[in-house]
Amino acid sequence: MGRLENRTAFITGAASGLGKAQALRFAQEGARIVAADLNLDGAEATAAEIRDADGQALAVQIDVTDGDSVTAAVTAAIDHFGTVDTLSNTAGMFDKFVQLLDTDRETFDRVLNVNIDGMFNVSKALIPHIIDNGKGVIINIASGAGLRGGGGGIAYTTSKHGVVGFTRELAAAYGTSGVRVNAIAPGLIDTPMVSDFSGTDETQANLKSQPGGRLGRPDDIANAALFLASDESDFIHAVTLPVDGGLVNTL
């Protein structure tokens, strides 16, 4: 029996990267998957891959920054599976290390809108269902940039520090209602988001100096998310878990 048997997981950003890796991994452990993404074709591909492996999956289009879109996606998930008890807020946007004096207001607002407002919108829409279910889990994807400076530009770093605070406050507010909330802080992971700079001399030097000694893989994050979603971590609340090969510790 899988570790997430009889569970329904709503995963944003599920068309690719960390979201897709979590969707596939959770499905392997018996979860029903709602693959939610702005890229509906990509979400459909993730869901089809799960169904081809005899899992259960629904693809929904979602713009996490738009309340009506979030409501429609959550309604579709509840109508299809009856309940949602697990949420992974994975959808996010990077700013390519652009610093304050080179960041325009539109870009700053857009990054925070996706990374903070999006997490707010989806969590607010789903927490009532998780509470009604009696027990559930929320996992927020932060970043090493949420634990230090220098992990991104001004917008991304600000937003990911916000993810950490959001996680702690949700855990404090809703833990006694059965909602267990934690976050993951990925390091340098081999995804399209980091492909533009993962091969630079500076990045490669950082990788060689850290205990892990390599670029992370999406499955590294998916396995950590699986642990946090499962009953094995039932007494873990309000934690932001670095999954970064020790990068934060060595900088």
Show the tokens assigned to 240.
Answer: 């932001």
Pure H helices in 62-116:
67-81, 105-112
Using CA atoms, how far apart are residues 78 and 130, in angstroms rounded to an integer?
A: 11
Distance CA 120, CA 106 (A): 20
Distances in Å between the Cα of 228 and the Cα atoms of 24, 46, 194, 197 are 16, 22, 24, 29
Task: Give yes or no: 156 in active site.
Answer: yes
Residue 58 bridge partners (DSSP): 34
Q: Which tokens belong to 175?
A: 């833990």
How far apart CA 231 and CA 180 sit, in angstroms, is 10
Give the CA count within 13 Å in the CB-facing half-sphere of 235. 0
Which among 120, 156, 166, 174 is annotated as catalytic? 156
Listed residue (48, 10, 59, 4) closest to 27, CA to CA: 4
Active-site residues, by number, are 156
